[in-house]
Amino acid sequence: MEKIRIFLVDDHPVVRSGLQNLLSQYSEFEIIGTSDGGAELISVVQEANPDVMLLDIRLKERSGLDLARQLGRMGHPCRIIILSSFDDDAYLTQAAKAGVWGYLLKSSSPEVLADSIRNVHQGIKCLSPTLAGKALDQLEKVNKEWVQAKSGLTEEELKLLELIADGSTVQEIAEVLFLSERSIKRRTQGIIEKLGVANRTQAVAEAFRRGLL
């Protein structure tokens, strides 16, 4: 059976050594290289051509996510699993946008780590079980941002839509947004045109359908 070729990146020698010793216990894994994330990393990875990379999210010289983005721009086929001590929402969002294949906490068990490597090698993305709830929240947020960007609606227009959905009158909306009633009517018409509907009722329904509200 062909082994899964793994490259380890962490700026702590003890962590690299520990991971290497741990993964060497699995016959299907082959550690083909390690790095502290220095300037030579990209060229070393290109030469080694690993299947999977375990990458620390915070390195001394640069961010692991920056390295992931750089490898992605270069079209390198290596599939990256971020290893982190942080379960911060912002990191999860950045990791998703960087195109990594997995995000694991360093507190994950050896079995979870090994299974994640196997899954990622097979094209299945992975996430630490404790982060599942946060990931769904972040996915919803990223999806809403994408839908909003595609619709062309601004934050103020979304707020106006929310007020319309709540049943607010033009006068009430004007008071909340500190605009004239004429401006509210004009902006409402703009929203209607952006969503491709006929009136404000349909605009609200379409916004709900797209997940904007």
* CATH number of the CATH domain containing 110: 3.40.50.2300
Number of domains in the chain: 2
The residue ranges of the chain whose pLDDT is under 70 are 89, 130-147
Order of strands across the sheet with 126-127? 29-35, 4-9, 52-56, 79-84, 102-105, 126-127
Q: What is the pLDDT of residue 110?
A: 92
The domain of 131 spans: 4-140
Residues 164 and 68 in one domain: no
Q: pLDDT tens across 19-37, in order? A: 999 999 999 999 999 999 8
pLDDT at 136: 46
pLDDT in the model for residue 142: 56
User: Does residue 29 contact residue 117 with C-beta atoms inside 8 Å?
Assistant: yes
**Domain shared by 113 and 173, yes or no:** no
Same domain, 109 and 173: no
pLDDT at position 132: 59
Q: Which CATH number does the domain housing residue 178 bear?
A: 1.10.10.10
Does residue 146 lie within any of the structural domains? no
Within this chain, do residues 130 and 162 fall inside the same structural domain, yes or no?
no
